[in-house]
Structure formats: C-alpha cells, structure tokens
C-alpha cells in the first residue's frame, strides 16, 4: 500500500475518535499499532461485555496482593514481546526480601554433597533462551484475561545446574522454592497462600526446556518478576514458574505436594488434589485461543467487524482454528493466521458481519481431536460482545 494511502487512513482513524461511544477503548492509543489492512475506516473498538478492568495497565497492591494485568486490547504485531513495564505481575516483590544481600541458591536433600551458588558464580552459565509466554492459571475476566505476557529471556537451563550436582540415586524429583515471606497482610479476597515452590520430575525439567531466568528483554530481571533468579517452565502455567528462587532440594517419590501445588490443583486441571507430588500431572497450557479486540470498520458504506485474537499454548502448530458467534451456530474456519510456534502467542484475524443486534458469545475451537483443549472445551475463554445496529 502506498504511504499516502496509509496516511489518509491514519487521519481518518483520528477523526473517528470523536464518534466513540462510552466504554470504548481510546483509539488514539491504538494509532501507532494498527495496521490498516482494510480499505476502509476504523470507527470504534468495542469493549467485551461483563468483564472487569481491575489493574489492567496499572499496578495494584503490594507483595502477595500485588497484581498487574496486560491490556490485551492493544496487542498487535509490534507488541508481541511485552515490555518489562507492561508484563503481567502476579505477586510483587515480597516485603521481607532484601535484594541488597548476597543471593544464594542452596542445593540440598538427596545429594552426596551440598552445593551453594552466588549469582556471580552462575553468571557464566547464562545463555539466550528466546521468547516464551507466561500465563497465570488463575487468569480471569475480572482483569480482562490480562494475566498473560510474553518476553525474550536469558538464563541458565535447569539441566545445566542439575549436571553440576552429585545427585543420590535415591532421588527421583526436584523441589524448586523461592522466597515468599511477605510483610504485607494477606487480603482474603485475593485468596493467595504464601509459600512458593513446585516439585518436578527430571523428565519435566528436561523435556520442557526449563530454565532459571536472570534477564528479561535484555535487562536484569525486575524485582517484581523474581530478581535475581526465577524459574521459567516453557509451556507450563505461571504458578510453576517460581520467582526469587533460593533453594533446590532433591527429593523422592514419597514427597508430598507443596502448598502452591495444592492451591493450584484445580486451576492446573489436576484430578482432585493428589496426595503425593508424583501424582500431579504437568501443569501444561493446552492449545487455547480467544478474541482480544473487536474493531468496527466502515467499508464501502457498510459496517463490518474485524476480530483480532490470539492463539497460545499447545504442543504443536495447528491450522484448524474455528470460530462461532453463538451457541447453536456453526463453527467456521478462522480467516487469517500463521501458527508456527507454541512458545508464544500468534495473532489471528477474522471478518464478521452480524445480521442482527444483540449479544454474541465468541467461542473458538481446534478442529483436530488429537489436540487437547481443556479450557476451550469448558468455555473458559468465551468473550461476549454487544452489537447495536440502531447505533450505526
């Protein structure tokens, strides 16, 4: 598209701002991000119905109550790597943690000799780890489903550390713990339990490509994201990605699940709360998709909608994404996307011309029974939009 055409489109978007109705998202903030692929004029961005905006784009609370949700409505091709300031936060720096003290990673349990590393001793092992997405298993509509982000990480593969340890043959599992002593009072409504640790099999750590992150987007790890060391479990829910890691304990199959594992048992799709850590299933994010922005366009004097969404989780790329706009309707293939990684999210777009006014529940599915999609199947990510034809 010639640049003059582009400029014309951008200026018409600017004029469009004045026509925004209450509850719509400010278009000016989308100006630099929109790719006006359509020959038309963007009129409005519609909000999702019956969702909260708590802590979206603004840090709320401290310590265990601290939260920041990403504003997903602004996500586009240029912001697929979340900046350190925008990356979602679930639990801020614990009040009792003094980052000025020398950090130690202590290794003990079923080992033939204990080990301890300082951060400077670990530094030579740091490598680029690439882009990986994190999502809180408690991601919810109260925060616009914004407890999800993606960053470019550097760190140390967990396997590289395990290889330095003289592990007893009796050990079958690895307990990874982080600092989690908070000075702040725990608010009941956030229903968070202090104490952050998770138990993994050696196979979990190896096959997922688990690593101890020390850098996020080329900067040392920010305090709220687990400075100086946090675990990243690629493809697993955020609750297993322990921050402020200070302890590795080699354990066996008799080890009980940690309080964090029990707290998150249902959100990580366990069958009840298993009595032993070994009976927990990997906290893997299944293949998932949801809409993030509903754009209203004027094209050749007719209103049409462009839905922007994301596809994330899963173990292998798919081209079987389907969409429907209410129960009872037929699913149809999503128009445009190129899914080639499961490490981070992929944008998709779909044009939609609803025939009637009303409320539409946008639901997605993967038309491939060999791909597990538990949260798509149970409707977790259905989002609702209200179309009012009289207002056009």
Ligand X SMILES: Nc1nc2c(c(=O)[nH]1)N[C@H]1C(S)=C(S)[C@@H](COP(=O)(O)O)O[C@H]1N2
What does the binding site for ligand X look like in residue numbers (CB under 6 A)?
A: 87-91, 134, 136, 178, 180, 196, 225-226, 238-239, 241-244
Q: Which residue sits closest to ligand X, CB atoms considered? A: 238
CB closer to ligand X, 231 vs 307: 231
88 within 8 A of 68, measured Cβ to Cβ: yes
User: If binding means CB under 5 A, how many residues of this protein chain bind Mo ion?
Assistant: 4
Residues whose CB is less than 8 angstroms from the CB of residue 259 and which lie 6 or more positions away in sequence, other chains included? 193, 195, 197
In whole angstroms, how close is the CB of 91 to ligand X at the nearest point?
3
Other C-beta atoms lying within 10 Å of the C-beta of residue 187: 11
Burial of 374 (0-12, 13-18, 19+ CB in 10 A): middle
The pair of structure tokens assigned to 58 is 């603004």
In whole angstroms, how close is the CB of 75 to Mo ion at the nearest point?
19
In whole angstroms, how close is the CB of 90 to Mo ion at the nearest point?
4
CB closer to Mo ion, 134 vs 167: 134
CB closer to Mo ion, 93 vs 334: 93
Q: Which of 9, 89, 136, 261 binds Mo ion (CB under 5 A)?
A: 136
CB closer to ligand X, 167 vs 221: 221
In whole angstroms, how close is the CB of 69 to Mo ion at the nearest point?
12
Among Mo ion, ligand X, none, what does residue 306 contact (CB within 5–8 Å per kind)? none
In whole angstroms, how close is the CB of 105 to ligand X at the nearest point?
14
Question: What Rg do the C-alpha atoms of the chain give, in angstroms?
Answer: 23
Long-range (24+ apart) CB contacts under 8 A made by 217-223 are 217/81, 217/83, 217/84, 217/151, 217/152, 218/152, 218/154, 219/84, 222/84, 223/92, 223/93, 223/99
Strands 104-109 and 245-251: parallel
CB closer to Mo ion, 225 vs 306: 225
Strands 127-135 and 115-118: unpaired
Among Mo ion, ligand X, none, what does residue 198 contact (CB within 5–8 Å per kind)? none
CA neighbours within 13 Å on the CB side: how many for 213? 32
Does 238 bind Mo ion (CB under 5 A)? Our answer is yes
Cα separation of the two ends of the chain: 28
The stretch near Mo ion (CB under 5 A) out of 3-11, 30-38, 58-66, 236-244 is 236-244
Q: Which of 44, 47, 56, 90 binds Mo ion (CB under 5 A)?
A: 90
Q: How far apart are CA 387 and CA 392, in angstroms?
A: 10
Does 261 bind Mo ion (CB under 5 A)? Our answer is no
The pair of structure tokens assigned to 257 is 């699940």
The CA-CA-CA angle for residues 287, 174, 128, to 5°, reads 60
CB closer to ligand X, 242 vs 321: 242
322 within 8 A of 369, measured Cβ to Cβ: no
Q: How far apart are CA 204 and CA 277, in angstroms?
A: 13
In whole angstroms, how close is the CB of 194 to ligand X at the nearest point?
8
Among Mo ion, ligand X, none, what does residue 225 contact (CB within 5–8 Å per kind)? ligand X
In whole angstroms, how close is the CB of 146 to ligand X at the nearest point?
11
Among ligand X, Mo ion, none, what does residue 88 contact (CB within 5–8 Å per kind)? ligand X
Site for Mo ion in 283-342 (CB under 5 A): none
Q: Which chain residues interact with Mo ion by CB under 5 A?
A: 90, 136, 238-239
């Amino acid at each position: 598209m010639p640049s003059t055409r582009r400029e014309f489109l951008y200026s018409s978007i600017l004029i469009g701002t004045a026509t925004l109705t209450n509850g719509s998202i400010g278009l000016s903030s989308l100006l630099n991000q929109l790719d006006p692929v359509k020959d038309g004029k963007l009129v409005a961005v519609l909000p999702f119905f019956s969702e909260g905006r708590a802590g979206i784009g603004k840090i709320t609370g401290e310590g265990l109550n601290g939260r920041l949700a990403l504003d997903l409505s602004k996500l586009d091709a240029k912001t697929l790597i979340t900046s350190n300031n925008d990356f979602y936060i679930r639990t801020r720096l614990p009040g009792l943690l003094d980052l000025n003290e020398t950090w130690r990673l202590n290794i003990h349990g079923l080992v033939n000799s204990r080990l301890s590393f300082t951060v400077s001793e670990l530094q030579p092992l740091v490598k680029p780890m690439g882009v990986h997405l994190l999502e809180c298993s408690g991601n919810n509509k109260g925060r616009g489903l914004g407890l999800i982000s993606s960053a470019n990480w550097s760190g140390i593969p967990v396997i590289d550390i395990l290889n330095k340890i003289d592990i007893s043959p009796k050990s079958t599992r690895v307990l990874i713990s982080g600092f989690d002593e908070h000075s702040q009072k725990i608010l009941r409504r956030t229903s968070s339990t202090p104490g952050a640790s998770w138990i993994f099999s050696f196979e979990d750590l190896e096959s997922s490509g688990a690593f101890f992150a020390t850098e996020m987007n080329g900067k040392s790890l920010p305090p709220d994201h687990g400075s100086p060391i946090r675990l990243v479990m690629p493809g697993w829910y955020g609750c297993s990605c322990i921050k402020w890691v200070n302890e590795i304990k080699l354990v066996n199959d008799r080890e009980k699940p940690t309080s964090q594992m029990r707290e998150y048992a249902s959100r990580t799709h366990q069958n009840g709360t298993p009595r032993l850590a070994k009976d927990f299933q990997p906290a893997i994010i299944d293949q998932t998709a949801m809409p993030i922005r509903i754009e209203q366009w004027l094209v050749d004097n007719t209103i049409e909608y462009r839905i922007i969404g994301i596809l994330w989780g899963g173990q292998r790329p798919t081209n079987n994404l389907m969409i429907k706009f209410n129960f009872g309707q037929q699913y149809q293939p999503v128009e445009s996307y190129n899914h080639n990684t499961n490490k981070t999210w992929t944008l998709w777009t779909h044009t939609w011309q609803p025939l009637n006014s009303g409320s539409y529940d946008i639901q997605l599915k993967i038309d491939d029974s060999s791909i597990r999609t538990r949260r798509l199947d149970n409707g977790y990510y259905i989002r609702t939009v209200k179309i009012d034809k009289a207002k056009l």
